[in-house]
Amino acid sequence: MKGQYRAINELLLFGIGAILAISAAVTVSTLVVPTQSQSQKEQYEMIANLVSMATTKTYLCSDYGDCNLSVEIPEKLSEDRYTIDLDNSQVSVSNFRTRAGINTQTIYYEKDVKGYATSSGRSFVVEGDNNIILSKW
């Protein structure tokens, strides 16, 4: 009888330990995923603002002739590569793999504004003369 009691006691202790470990892992994963997605969204908004500011600066500079502006960007945001798409007054920053991302509006420029860049280049160039073009470095 003493041997059975000891075996049951060890099995119960192992089961309780496993339940505690699994519940801790589930709790951490449920807290990390929303935090990571919120952080990724905020980082995408910061990149969109950076593109908007670079475009505005190039637009103002292009009134005086040809203007090129090179801007360095991070290779990854929240461990994912991303793309930047500029189409007139709209900037889109999206995840390269899932295509999830954000769209923001910029000011209206009196010139055609187009371009596409990926984060793998680690920088992009905004060129301005008659049109404003965003391109990968």
4-43 pLDDT tens trace = 888 888 889 999 999 999 999 998 888 887 888 888 889 8
For the chain, the first-to-last Cα distance in angstroms comes to 77
Higher pLDDT, 11 or 2: 11
Q: What is the DSSP letter of 98?
A: T
Q: What is the mean pLDDT of residues 113-117?
A: 84
Helix (H) or strand (E) holding 23: helix 2-62
What span, in angstroms and rounded, lies between the C-alpha atoms of 117 and 120? 9
Contact yes or no for 45/104 (Cβ under 8 A): yes
Helix (H) or strand (E) holding 53: helix 2-62
Q: Which among 85, 77, 73 has a CA at the least distance from the CA of 121? A: 73
